[in-house]
């Protein structure tokens, strides 16, 4: 029988306890039985890139976009949901109507954990009509998909319940995520936190961490600090993505963002090696937001940071 590292640690600790029981203080005994969160796995960026290539192909086959109400959106939904179903998630396709077209959210629950303390991670899956939306927001969508698949591969047994979401019609004003919250009603009291990932592979990236909640912000900032990656406080994001309706509903929110429009200050320009006035993503909301419009290092770092955050926050 192979034992998980956690079981092995617990057994070693138990053995030590028996041997030196007389010498142990109560504090040490308590420490020995405390839950130590397992380290999150490294998420292969090649897998995230492969998903982005699939989303690009879907756009190519459907008029160049994956926008709400267009066939490329539903094809994106089918691709993501198929992978989650095969990995053992309990998935739900939540429908809504907007602008005379049917919209969809995908909700994917990992079985187990305390549902009264649910940790959610979400990304919008729709693009603008003008392009394939690979950085905005294939990047966040593929990033959380690969973290979800890692949860399955590792057989994660979280203390808190874990739910992933892919939102429809964000580009029309966070319609899908707002719909989800409307249907949830007072169910928001069971949400421990909501983490949002919108644009995490910008070509000239900054590492923005949402500053809305200190506990959630710290989990990300600590991870980037261990990698010696300087982060920036996300302030311009207020109200600009799917975390906004959660925040308005009183749910603690956090998240990552690698930049959309412009580097504003000389300080930022120096930090990210650009110039003030230069875009983080020159193809933001444009036809050139293709699979070439991705910084692999930012995508890799941000995806690994998401995995770490979910492992920590659900333990
Ligand atoms: N989808 C967002 C939008 O189109 C992207 C974005 C811009 C964003 N600024 C942000 C997301 C700040 C998070 C935080 O506006
Ligand atoms: Ca990685
Ligand atoms: Zn957008």
The kind and range of the H/E element at 15 are helix 5-19
Angstrom distance (rounded) from CA 291 to CA 56: 6
Angstrom distance (rounded) from CA 134 to CA 295: 11
Catalytic residue among 95, 146, 154, 170: 170
Q: Whose CA is nearest to atom 7 of ligand 1?
A: 260
Q: Is 236 in the pocket of ligand 1 (CB under 6 A)?
A: yes
The answer to whether residue 2 scores a pLDDT higher than 80 is no
Q: Is 154 in the pocket of ligand 1 (CB under 6 A)?
A: no
Domain ranges within the chain, ordered by starting residue:
54-313
Residue 202 backbone dihedrals phi, psi, to 5 degrees: -60, 140
Strands 114-124 and 208-210: unpaired
CATH 3.40.630.10 fits 54-313, yes or no: yes
Ligand 3 midpoint to CA 103 (Å): 16
312: its two tokens: 């920590």
Q: Which of 171, 241, 262 to mutate to test the pocket of ligand 1 (most atoms within 8 A of CB)?
A: 241
Q: Is 242 in the pocket of ligand 1 (CB under 6 A)?
A: no
Residue 194 backbone dihedrals phi, psi, to 5 degrees: -130, 125
| R_g over Cα of the chain | 20
Catalytic-residue membership of 115: no
Q: Which has the closest alpha carbon to 142: 48, 54, 258, 46?
A: 48
Ligand 3 midpoint to CA 256 (Å): 14
Average pLDDT for the chain: 89
The ligand minimizing its distance to the Cα of 239 is: 1
pLDDT interval class at 34 (50, 70, 90): low
Ligand 1 midpoint to CA 150 (Å): 26
Cis peptide, bond prior to residue 310, ω within 30 of zero: no
Quick: pLDDT tens for 109-133.
Answer: 999 999 999 999 999 999 999 999 9
The answer to whether residue 315 scores a pLDDT higher than 70 is yes
The pTM score is 0.87
Quote the percentage of the chain above a pLDDT of 70. Answer: 86
Residue 144 backbone dihedrals phi, psi, to 5 degrees: -75, -30
Q: Whose CA is nearest to atom 14 of ligand 1?
A: 237
**Runs of H (alpha helix) within the chain:** 5-19, 26-33, 45-60, 71-86, 140-154, 175-184, 214-226, 243-248, 266-272, 296-314
Q: Are 204 and 259 in contact (CB under 8 A)?
A: yes
């Amino acid at each position: 029988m192979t034992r998980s590292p956690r079981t092995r640690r617990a057994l070693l600790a138990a053995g030590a306890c028996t041997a030196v029981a007389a010498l142990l203080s109560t504090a040490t005994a308590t420490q020995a039985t405390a839950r130590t969160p397992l380290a999150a796995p490294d998420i292969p960026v090649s897998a995230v890139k492969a998903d982005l290539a699939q989303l690009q192909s879907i756009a190519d086959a459907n008029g160049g976009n994956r926008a709400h109400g267009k066939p490329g959106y539903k094809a994106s939904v089918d691709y993501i949901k198929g992978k989650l179903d095969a990995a053992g998630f309990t998935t739900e396709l939540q429908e809504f109507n907007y602008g005379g077209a049917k919209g969809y959210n995908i909700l994917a629950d990992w079985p187990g954990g305390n549902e009264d303390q649910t940790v959610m991670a979400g990304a919008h899956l729709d693009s603008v009509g003008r392009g394939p939306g690979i950085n905005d927001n294939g990047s966040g969508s593929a990033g959380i998909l690969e973290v979800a698949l890692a949860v399955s591969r590792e057989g994660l047994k979280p203390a808190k319940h874990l739910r992933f979401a892919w939102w429809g019609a964000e580009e029309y004003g966070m319609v899908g995520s707002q719909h989800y919250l409307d249907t949830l009603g007072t169910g928001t009291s069971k949400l421990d936190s909501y983490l949002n990932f919108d644009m995490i592979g910008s070509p000239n990236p900054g590492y923005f961490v949402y500053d809305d909640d200190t506990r959630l912000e710290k989990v990300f900032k600590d991870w980037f600090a261990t990698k010696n990656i300087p982060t920036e406080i996300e302030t311009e994001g207020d109200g600009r993505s799917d975390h906004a309706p959660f925040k308005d509903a009183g749910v603690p929110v956090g998240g990552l963002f690698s930049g959309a429009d412009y580097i504003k200050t000389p300080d930022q320009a120096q930090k990210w090696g650009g110039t003030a006035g230069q875009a983080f993503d020159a193809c933001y909301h444009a036809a050139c937001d293709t699979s070439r419009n991705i910084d692999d290092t930012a995508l890799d770092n941000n995806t690994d940071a998401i995995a770490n955050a979910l492992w920590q926050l659900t333990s």
